[in-house]
Amino acid sequence: MKKLILAIFLMQNLFALDLVSSIPKEQKRVLSQIVEKLKMPSNNVSRKMIYDYVGFSFEHDWSAHWTTNSTGKHSKISSDNVQICDVTVYNNERVVNATFVHFSNKKQLFITVKEYIETKSSHVLKRYKDKKSDSKYSIVSETDNYAYFQQKGYMTYETYHIKAPVGMIVYESSYVLDVAE
Residue 3 pLDDT > 90:
no
Give the distance, in angstroms, between the CA of residue 85 and the centroid of all CA atoms in the same chain. Answer: 11
Per-residue model confidence as pLDDT tens digits over 53-111: 999 999 889 999 999 998 888 889 988 999 999 999 999 999 999 999 999 999 999 99
Predicted local confidence at residue 79, as pLDDT: 87
Specify the higher pLDDT residue, 100 or 2: 100
pTM score: 0.84
Domain ranges for the chain: 2-178
What DSSP state is assigned to residue 42?
-
Per-residue model confidence as pLDDT tens digits over 133-166: 999 999 999 999 999 999 999 999 999 999 999 9
Per-residue model confidence as pLDDT tens digits over 105-131: 999 999 999 999 999 999 999 999 999
CA angle 148, 93, 49 (to 5 degrees): 75
CA angle 97, 100, 101 (to 5 degrees): 145
Per-residue model confidence as pLDDT tens digits over 6-63: 444 444 444 444 667 889 899 999 999 999 999 999 888 999 999 999 999 998 899 9
Predicted local confidence at residue 36, as pLDDT: 94
Predicted local confidence at residue 13, as pLDDT: 47
d(CA 54, CA 36): 16
Predicted local confidence at residue 72, as pLDDT: 83
Predicted local confidence at residue 2, as pLDDT: 53
